[in-house]
C-alpha cells in the first residue's frame, strides 16, 4: 500500500490506483443503495402511503426520501468522530455494512396493505439508518483518498470519489430499467421493485471484501504515531472560533450551492420529467442515464482542472451558470418532452378561482393532514396531472372552480360528508376535469412520438455538466480546509448539512411550491436562490486551497 504524503512527487503508482478503485467502488455501491429509494419514490408512495390522498402521498414519499438526508449531518458527527479517533478505514467499513443491510430490509418489508401503519414507520426508520451511514461514508472515503494523494493531484484523485454518487445513481437506474423491461411495468410496480433492493446484499458482500484489503491512511498513521490526534474532534471542529467559522463558510459558501445544483440537475430533473411532464418512466430513466454517461467523465476533467486553476472558480462558476439558466433549460424540457402541455396552456389556460384564505400549503411532513377544502381538492388534482394553472381570488366562502378555456368545473368540499357522498363527488369532479382537459389538449401522458429525445438529452446533459463543475472539485476543497486531526469530522458536517438538508429537501420543497402556485417552474426558485447565496459568500469569504499542505 502506498504511503505517499502530501508533499511527495505527483506520481500515480499501483498503490494509488488500488486506493482510488477500492474507495470509489465501495462508495458507488453505497450511493446505489441510497438512491434506489429516490428513483422509486412514486412506486413506494403507492406501496407504503396508500392511506393518504395522492398529492400528500407523493409529498410524503419524497419526505421519507428526504428523511435519509435529514439525519446525514448526525451521521457525520458520529462517524466523523470515530474516523478521527480510531481511523478512516474501519469507520467507513462499518458505514457500508449499515447501509447495505438497511437497503436489503427495504426489499423484504411488507407494504401498508399487509401490516398497516407499521410499514411506513419501519420504512422511514430504515431510511434514517441509511442516512446515518451515508453521513459517515463520504467524508471517510474522500479523506482517505486525499491523504494518499501527492501534492498537485488531490483534485484529480478525489474527483474519482465524486463520480461515485452519479455512478451509483446510474447503476440504480440501470438495474431498475432492466427489471422493468424484464418483468413489464405492471409486475414491476406490483412486486418487482423489490429486486433492486434485494440485490444490494450482493453489492454489500463485494464492498466489504474490497475494503478489508485496504490499509489505514498514511497521514492518520503518522499523526497517531506522533501523538497529535484529537481527543474531542467535535468540540475542536465546531466549537472553536477558527475551525467553527471555517465550517460555516464551507457550508454557506460551498456545499449548499453545490448540493442544490447537484439535486436539481439529476433528481429534480427526473421528477420533473416523470411527475410534471408525465414522460414514461422507462424513457425518462434512459434519457437521464444517457446524460450521466456523457457527463460523468467531466467530474475527472474538472477535478484535474481545479489542480491547475483552483477549486473556487470552478465550483462557484458552476453555481452561477446554473442559477442563470435553470428557467430556460426546464422550459426547454417542457417544449421538447411534452409540447402538448405547452400548446394547451397557451390556447386553453387553466384558472383556479378560489378564496385564497381557504387554500393551504400542501406540505405535510407527518402525513396526518387531509386537504379537504374545495381549493385544495382542485389544486391537488391539477398538480397531480402536471397541469399549469393561474389563480384568481374569489370572495370568502366561495366554492372553488377550475376553468379550462371556456369550460368551468365546480370543485367540492371533501370534509363533513359521508364516504359514499365523497366518492360520488370525487368521481363526478374527476370525470368532468378529465374530459375538459382532454378536450383542451392536455395529455394524461407525454406522447412518445412527440418527445424530441435528442434535444431532451442535450438539455439533461447540460444539467449534468453543471453538476460535474460544482461537485468535481468539492472533496479536495473540503479536505484542504481542515487539519488532519479533525479532518474527517470537520469536512463531513458541512458537506452533509449542505447535501442532506439544502439538497435533500429540494424535491419535496419544489413539488409543494408548484402545487401551491400552479407554476410548474416555480420550484426552481429554491435552487436558484441557494446557488446565488453560495456564489456571493464563496466569492468574498472562502479561501482558495489548491496549494495547501494537508500533512499538518
CA–CA dist 287, 278 (Å, integer): 14
Highest-confidence segment of 93-97, 223-227, 384-388, 391-395: 391-395
List the one residue out of 281, 378, 232 whose CA is nearest residue 46.
281
CA–CA dist 388, 334 (Å, integer): 11
Residue 22 vs residues 132, 134, 138, 429, 479: alpha-carbon distances, Å: 22, 17, 13, 57, 19
pLDDT at 130: 81
Q: Grade residue 367 by pLDDT with cuts at 50, 70 and 90.
A: very low
CA–CA dist 285, 280 (Å, integer): 9
pLDDT tens for residues 138-192?
Answer: 777 787 788 777 888 889 988 888 888 778 878 888 888 899 889 988 899 889 9
**HSE of 213, CA atoms in CB hemisphere, 13 A:** 15
pLDDT tens for residues 113-125?
Answer: 888 878 888 888 8
pLDDT at 6: 41
More confident residue, 198 or 8: 198
CATH code for 14-338+448-541?
A: 1.20.1250.20
Which segment of 7-21, 141-155, 346-360 scores lowest on mean pLDDT? 7-21
Contact 134, 72 (CB under 8 A): yes
State the average pLDDT over residues 34-58. Answer: 71
More confident residue, 519 or 140: 519
pLDDT at 369: 53
pLDDT at 2: 31
DSSP 266-313: IIIHHHIIIIIS---HHHHHHHHHHHHHHHTHHHHHHHHHHHHH-SHH
Looking at the predicted structure, is the pLDDT value of residue 253 above 80?
A: yes
What average pLDDT does the structure give for the chain?
83
pLDDT tens for residues 256-298?
Answer: 999 999 989 988 998 899 988 999 988 998 899 899 889 999 9
What fold characterizes domain 342-440? Glutaredoxin (3.40.30)
The CATH 3.40.30 domain(s) of the chain lie at 342-440
pLDDT at 134: 78
pLDDT tens for residues 303-321?
Answer: 999 999 999 999 999 999 9
pLDDT tens for residues 453-490?
Answer: 999 999 999 999 999 999 999 989 998 998 877 887 88
List the one residue out of 549, 501, 547 whose CA is nearest residue 251.
501
Residue 150 in grid coordinates: 501527492
- Which residues have a Cβ under 8 Å from the Cβ of 475 and sit 6 or more positions away? 142, 145, 146, 158, 159, 161, 162
Residue 334 vs residues 24, 235, 254, 438, 463: alpha-carbon distances, Å: 35, 49, 30, 18, 15
116: left (phi over 0), alpha (psi -120 to 50) or beta: left
Q: Grade residue 1 by pLDDT with cuts at 50, 70 and 90.
A: very low
Looking at the predicted structure, is the pLDDT value of residue 366 above 60?
A: no
State the average pLDDT over residues 413-426. Answer: 83
pTM of the model: 0.81
The DSSP code for 485 is G
213-162-59 Cα angle (round to 5)? 115
Looking at the predicted structure, is the pLDDT value of residue 9 above 70?
A: no
pLDDT at 208: 82
pLDDT at 409: 94
Looking at the predicted structure, is the pLDDT value of residue 537 above 60?
A: yes
pLDDT at 457: 97
Contact 183, 515 (CB under 8 A): no
How much of the chain, in percent, has pLDDT values that exceed 70? 86
pLDDT at 4: 36
pLDDT at 3: 36
pLDDT at 279: 93
Longest dimension (CA), the chain: 80
The CATH 1.20.1250.20 domain(s) of the chain lie at 14-338+448-541
More confident residue, 106 or 538: 538
Looking at the predicted structure, is the pLDDT value of residue 244 above 50?
A: yes
Amino acid at each position: 500500500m502506498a504511503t505517499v504524503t502530501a508533499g511527495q512527487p505527483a506520481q500515480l503508482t499501483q498503490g494509488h490506483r488500488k486506493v482510488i478503485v477500492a474507495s470509489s467502488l465501495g462508495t458507488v455501491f453505497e450511493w446505489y443503495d441510497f438512491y434506489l429509494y429516490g428513483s422509486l419514490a412514486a412506486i413506494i408512495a403507492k406501496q407504503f402511503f396508500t392511506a393518504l390522498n395522492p398529492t400528500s402521498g407523493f409529498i410524503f414519499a419524497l419526505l421519507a426520501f428526504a428523511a435519509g438526508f435529514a439525519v446525514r449531518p448526525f451521521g457525520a458527527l458520529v462517524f466523523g468522530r470515530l474516523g478521527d479517533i480510531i481511523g478512516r478505514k474501519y469507520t467507513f467499513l462499518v458505514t457500508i455494512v449499515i447501509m447495505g443491510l438497511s437497503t436489503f430490509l427495504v426489499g423484504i418489508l411488507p407494504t401498508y396493505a399487509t401490516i398497516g401503519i407499521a410499514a411506513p414507520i419501519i420504512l422511514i426508520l430504515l431510511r434514517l439508518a441509511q442516512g446515518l451511514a451515508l453521513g459517515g461514508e463520504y467524508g471517510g472515503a474522500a479523506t482517505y483518498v486525499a491523504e494518499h494523494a501527492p501534492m498537485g493531484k488531490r483534485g484529480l484523485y478525489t474527483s474519482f470519489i465524486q463520480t461515485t454518487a452519479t455512478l451509483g445513481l446510474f447503476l440504480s437506474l440501470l438495474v431498475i430499467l432492466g427489471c422493468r423491461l424484464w418483468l413489464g411495468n405492471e409486475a414491476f410496480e406490483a412486486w418487482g421493485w423489490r429486486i433492486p433492493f434485494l440485490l444490494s446484499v450482493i453489492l454489500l458482500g463485494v464492498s466489504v471484501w474490497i475494503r478489508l484489503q485496504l490499509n489505514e491512511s498514511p497521514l492518520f498513521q503518522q499523526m497517531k504515531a506522533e501523538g497529535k490526534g484529537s481527543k474531542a474532534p467535535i468540540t475542536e471542529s465546531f466549537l472553536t472560533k477558527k475551525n467553527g467559522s471555517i465550517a460555516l463558510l464551507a457550508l454557506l459558501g460551498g456545499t449548499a450551492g453545490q448540493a442544490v445544483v447537484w439535486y436539481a440537475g439529476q433528481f429534480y430533473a427526473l421528477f420533473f420529467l416523470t411527475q410534471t411532464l408525465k414522460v414514461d418512466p422507462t424513457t425518462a430513466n434512459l434519457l437521464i442515464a444517457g446524460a450521466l454517461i456523457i457527463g460523468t467523465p467531466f467530474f475527472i476533467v474538472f477535478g484535474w482542472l481545479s489542480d491547475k486553476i483552483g477549486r473556487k472558480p470552478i465550483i462557484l462558476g458552476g453555481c452561477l451558470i446554473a442559477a442563470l439558466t435553470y428557467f430556460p433549460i426546464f422550459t426547454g424540457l417542457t417544449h421538447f418532452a411534452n409540447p402538448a402541455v405547452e400548446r394547451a396552456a397557451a390556447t386553453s389556460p387553466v384558472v383556479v378561482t378560489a378564496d385564497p384564505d381557504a387554500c393551504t400549503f400542501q406540505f405535510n411532513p407527518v402525513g396526518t393532514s387531509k386537504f379537504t377544502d374545495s381549493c385544495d381538492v382542485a389544486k391537488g388534482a391539477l398538480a397531480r396531472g402536471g397541469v399549469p394553472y393561474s389563480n384568481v381570488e374569489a370572495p370568502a366562502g366561495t366554492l372553488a372552480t377550475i376553468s379550462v378555456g371556456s369550460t368551468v368545473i365546480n370543485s367540492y368540499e371533501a370534509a363533513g360528508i359521508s364516504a359514499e357522498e365523497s366518492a360520488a363527488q370525487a368521481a363526478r369532479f374527476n370525470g368532468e376535469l378529465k374530459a375538459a382537459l382532454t378536450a383542451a389538449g392536455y395529455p394524461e401522458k407525454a406522447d412518445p412520438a412527440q418527445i424530441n429525445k435528442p434535444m431532451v438529452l442535450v438539455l439533461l446533459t447540460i444539467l449534468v455538466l453543471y453538476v460535474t463543475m460544482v461537485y468535481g472539485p468539492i472533496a479536495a476543497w473540503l479536505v484542504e480546509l481542515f487539519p488532519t486531526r479533525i479532518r474527517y469530522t470537520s469536512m463531513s458536517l458541512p458537506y452533509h448539512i449542505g447535501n442532506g438538508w439544502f439538497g435533500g429537501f429540494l424535491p419535496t420543497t419544489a413539488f409543494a411550491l408548484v402545487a401551491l402556485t400552479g407554476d410548474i417552474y416555480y420550484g426552481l426558485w429554491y435552487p436558484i436562490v441557494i446557488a446565488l447565496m453560495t456564489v456571493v459568500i464563496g466569492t468574498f469569504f472562502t479561501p482558495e486551497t489548491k496549494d495547501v499542505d494537508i500533512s499538518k
